[in-house]
Amino acid sequence: MALFQWTEELSVGVREFDAQHQRMIQMMRELNEAMLQGKGKEALSGILAGLHQYTKIHFSAEERLFAEHGYADAEKHRMQHDYFIGKIDEFKRDHEEGKLGTPVKVSHFLNDWFQNHIKATDKQYTEFFHERGVR
């Protein structure tokens, strides 16, 4: 699986969010590197903890700005955040239960999330925020 590299094309135009997305890419790369070394299972606890922390910081920052500026798709976006949190909780349970393949499932989920949420859904708010002076 090709690993993500940050490029300006991935920018959503809000520095705080871009920095947070870069951290997510870093976690994705850490997990993939651990799996290549045969240590995905060992690395997964730390990755999942990092993703849990990421959701607290990043999702609350996005949702705060949505509320402050009256973003029309805020509820739909928040529902996607709730889905992500639920999946991370599910992966944590699977990992604690020793289910096989959990690191690979997490890696695939994160890659899919990046393609379908960050590169698509998040990009939809760029112009909205720029019109309101948020960068």
Per-residue pLDDT 10s for the chain (135 aa) are: 556 788 888 899 999 999 999 999 999 999 999 999 999 999 999 999 999 999 999 999 999 999 999 999 999 999 999 999 999 999 999 999 999 999 999 999 999 998 899 989 999 999 999 999 999
Identify whether 102 is part of a domain: yes
Identify whether 3 is part of a domain: no
Identify whether 105 is part of a domain: yes
**pTM given for the model:** 0.93
Identify whether 63 is part of a domain: yes
Identify whether 72 is part of a domain: yes
- Quick one: pLDDT at residue 9? 85
Identify whether 77 is part of a domain: yes
Domain span at 27? 14-131
pLDDT tens readout for residues 20-47: 999 999 999 999 999 999 999 999 999 9
- Quick one: pLDDT at residue 13? 96
Identify whether 4 is part of a domain: no
Identify whether 1 is part of a domain: no
The DSSP secondary structure of the chain, one letter per residue, reads: -PPP---GGG--S-HHHHHHHHHHHHHHHHHHHHHHTT-HHHHHHHHHHHHHHHIIIIIHHHHHHHHHHT-TTHHHHHHHHHHHHHHHHHHHHHHHTT-TTHHHHHHHHHHHHIIIIIIIIGGGGHHHHHHTT--
- Quick one: pLDDT at residue 90? 98
Residue 101 is part of a domain; what is its CATH number? 1.20.120.50
**Total structural domains in the chain?**
1
